[in-house]
Structure 1
């Protein structure tokens, strides 16, 4: 089976080779901005606010360090996509045994749902703070982001990137304005860049900042998004693409660092300096801003939160599509893929509010970051292995010093995230009166996940001979002797529109005067759906008369045909007539709907071809 292109609907949709000078550089810019929004999502806000309110400017250096690690890993992700033309999920499927890919998919999908959960909560909180909309309504509204994403993708990759960049711009401008309002101390900010020893709660929050900054779905996403650029696939073209994408990544992630640092500085200047050291919730931060600075600062804060949630959710749902298609080689309709991801995230948020109240959302936000922490190693370790593979990467294999830095970063992140998970589980055991489910479910799952992580790290070292080739397509087969196919029974679907003439002509060309033609029309009225063959309403009578006219017309031309009326569901009725009459070929006219129309009016052709075992000729 041929390898499907990553995000095929926008694959190589942005041309770069026809542009010169700075326009050529600009053509490559964009993918990293879509990735960078994941580095300033509501999950980051929670850790930055907690860090700034409790420890002032002390943890800015932790933000800088995590941003540098993110820059290294994202550049490796972009390199993989550019050189091998595969995203991280596809490359992992080709590298590891088949049985490993299903748990890898489940873990990656769980992380995306957890990330989406943080976006949904952030968006709902932002709407609540700005308009007073109840949280449960805010969460319900976020389901329509799926339609927004479908609209943006139909408009093209550049339009979607422009939307994301505008959202990021809103966040950046909001916090720049906040800085002028709170007037932080520049000297103390500079002092915060000096690394310091961390212990106790400061270490815990630092781990949270790193865990919230380097997110797994961004690595899958970046390796796919760089493939939207069309460039020459020679050595020079690949080198240029790697260079320009590194510039794109450096600029975008530094912007993300500015936003995260701004949130932490805002919390330090507004809360730490005023003695409010226990600001853990986003709502608390907004309320305190109102008390200290009046109306403007909290309004900007809420607007930025909505923009961050909106942009992050678009990229998170794109990552869901990449992970499913990459690990499982399974493709479903993009809008359905995104709707599933969104629903899986909305359901826990919805029931948390219903059963535990609005106040429990803060705890759910922290839980989502813990789930993200668990998944991180499963993206980083294969990424480093794949970039180190000389056989596949050839001259673009990463240098030894980059490899050492990457493995050190992976070790730090995995170790800190394991520590975070252990502390969280320990906290759950202490807080719970009846902790049996932790010992029966949570601990065994955590141990299995740890063993799988170890296997993924070791396998490329010991199992290289078993590695599956990642050639995107299979080998060409010999076509053999060509013989004319004589169809004797040909079905023709008609709807009495101007398209029928084309459909019937194409069918007659296939079978000539030796074949028998089955003229098929389906009555879709409410009465037909309910009563089936017994219905004899005006539309049914009219359709029967029209089919007979086609039959008589064909007879005059020397062709044999039989009219067949179906009732109810179009695809099901056409398939039943085809199977009952043992047709050998089905000729159908396509309605030509695109985008939202396709969603509303349905895809009959697509549904029929899955219900029949004969060739289907589609006529436009």
Structure 2
């Protein structure tokens, strides 16, 4: 049944992401008026923008997690200012993907995991769920270890890495505590953490005093050399996080929207687009601070290639000394804020992924506990094994990056297939131009990550048996991607 031109498809009224009582009431959004009835989008309102502000900033935290910070510092130390232009365009590509995720959630009233569960066969749904969970666990391990490194620094080494992991594990209880006080309180908490990152890394930026001219040239003039290919791939690869696509499509449902009125849905999409763009602009600036600090301090030095998340603070301390507040602790505070905020949003994403794919209706505390346990147990094991070895942690981080890169098509392809279908989106399906651009961006991201995977496995895969296993996995992996693309042509809404 085709939806009327001024409506979006009517879906189930059962709220999965948020109960009706948990949603934020946006003043005037659901009240009947001539503009809404006639299909005209109401004029811009700063008050409404403020009420819609929140989901985009929670989403932006995935652009600031410890994995991204490590990519930033390595890009700065090895490539100097030359990859700043790529950081800017990678953030723009990430914004496009996140806007599509938000559009899907607003127009349908359901999030990506739930729609995948409804639109794909059971076996496909289960494979997508496993892939999403693996991506989330990989990201969570990096985030928890990043927090643990920061705690170890701030405790002057008194707390070992595994101790920091246990402390970070408790953040799900902070999340549950804040969630009980409402969505806006939770969003305010994350705003404080983002502000902490901004102040910390801006302080470091001020201490380092990087060249303004070189910074501007790095942003405006594209430059790439064979020596910086790996860092360039890392900059692009860590921007789009699979679990973040699922998360954003659910977060936008935290506001009350009358989906029977096209004007109200369009209004919500407009406001979410503005706040998401603002949030990612701030994340870009924070990433820029980190990249330029390490570019100024370590570019063209002998130690540049050996700097990672574990030893970055110590190298900064040796370079810039103490000061009013030692830069080592400034770095640790920013890293802790990044790690804590990203682990909590990871817990949030895990609830939506599990509930959507498996159609589970568990209590919030139980879903949070299950999601947290999936990441904490392997993280503690890794922390115990790698606590005394910086090089081993770097190897672990490379494997985790590969794990997440593998999962990217399994979030982006379903998203693009669903958001392009009139049966799913009604009047809000994306047009041919935007669809072409989105598929080109998706293809580019997949190719870039494919290069990362090829380069990694070329150096790591040895022996006939291991090579045969990887080859078989690669064949199955490519076949599933082809299946998802072809299956997307036949997706139909279910009444």
Scaled by the length of structure 1, the TM-score of the pair is: 0.72
SS of residue paired to 2:458 = helix
2:207 to 178, 181, 186: 181
5+ residue gaps, structure 1: 472-620
1:384 to 402, 413, 416: 416
Flag the 1:71–1:266 CA change in 2: closer, same or farther, 3 A.
same
Q: What is the Cα deviation at residue 34 of structure 1?
A: 0.4
8 Å contact kept, 1:15–1:229: yes
Aligned counterpart, 1:289: 316
Structure 2 CA distance for aligned equivalents of residues 107 and 128 of structure 1: 32
Flag the 1:412–1:373 CA change in 2: closer, same or farther, 3 A.
same
8 Å contact kept, 1:11–1:228: no
8 Å contact kept, 1:11–1:229: no
Q: Does 1:366 align with 2:376?
A: no
Aligned counterpart, 1:14: 24
Q: What is the Cα deviation at residue 157 of structure 1?
A: 0.5
Aligned counterpart, 1:451: 479
1:172-192 CA-to-partner distances (Å, cap 9, x unmatched) read 011111111000001001111
Structure 1 CA distance for aligned equivalents of residues 174 and 186 of structure 2: 10
Q: What is the Cα deviation at residue 121 of structure 1?
A: 0.6
Flag the 1:429–1:273 CA change in 2: closer, same or farther, 3 A.
closer
Q: What is the Cα deviation at residue 392 of structure 1?
A: 2.5
Q: How does 1:288-437 map to 2 (within 5 A)?
A: 288-295=315-322, 296-359=326-389, 360-429=392-461, 435=463
Aligned counterpart, 1:134: 160
Aligned counterpart, 2:33: none
Q: What is the Cα deviation at residue 317 of structure 1?
A: 0.9
| Residues paired across the two proteins, number | 463
8 Å contact kept, 2:83–2:223: no
8 Å contact kept, 1:82–1:241: yes
5+ residue gaps, structure 2: 1-10, 30-43
2:104 to 58, 80, 84: 80
SS of residue paired to 1:16 = coil
Q: What is the Cα deviation at residue 404 of structure 1?
A: 1.2
Q: What is the Cα deviation at residue 200 of structure 1?
A: 3.6
8 Å contact kept, 1:124–1:135: yes
1:29-57 CA-to-partner distances (Å, cap 9, x unmatched) read 00010010110100011111111101100
Structure 2 CA distance for aligned equivalents of residues 87 and 183 of structure 1: 44
Aligned counterpart, 1:65: 89
8 Å contact kept, 1:43–1:366: no
Larger Rg: 1
1:43 to 42, 63, 67: 67
8 Å contact kept, 1:53–1:279: no
Q: What is the Cα deviation at residue 125 of structure 1?
A: 0.4
8 Å contact kept, 1:63–1:257: yes
Aligned counterpart, 1:584: none
Structure 2 CA distance for aligned equivalents of residues 4 and 447 of structure 1: 39
Aligned counterpart, 1:484: none
Scaled by the length of structure 2, the TM-score of the pair is: 0.89
Root-mean-square deviation (CA, aligned residues, Å) is 2.0
